[in-house]
Amino acid sequence: MGRGLVGLLEEAKEVDHIIPHRGDTRLFYDRRNWQPLYNRCHSRKTAYENWHGGRRTSGGV
């Protein structure tokens, strides 16, 4: 459990790919490329990647 966006405790239930797999099955199944995220954080990160074509490298999600 960790703190969500508004400081509430919630369980991370999403598995995020640190480096977007974009259909690459090797990246998709590589556990070193996984991180747990809260649903809202995962959705926001994915939307950012889809709209901006990249991933954030610092400053969190």
pLDDT in tens, 23-35: 999 999 999 999 8
* pLDDT reading at 59 higher than 60: no
Show Cβ contacts of residue 35 under 8 Å, excluding neighbours closer than 6 positions.
Answer: 15, 16, 18
Report the mean per-residue pLDDT for the chain. Answer: 78
Position 5 pLDDT exceeds 70: no
Query: Is residue 58 in some structural domain?
Result: no
Name the residue range of residue 46's domain.
Answer: 2-52
For the entire predicted model, the pTM comes to 0.60
Is the residue at 57 inside a domain?
no
The answer to the question of residue 59 being in a domain is: no
Report how many domains make up the chain.
Answer: 1
Give the Cα separation of 9 and 31 in Å (integer). Answer: 25
Of the ranges 12-21, 23-32, 38-47, which is most confident? 23-32
Residue 7 in any domain: the answer is yes
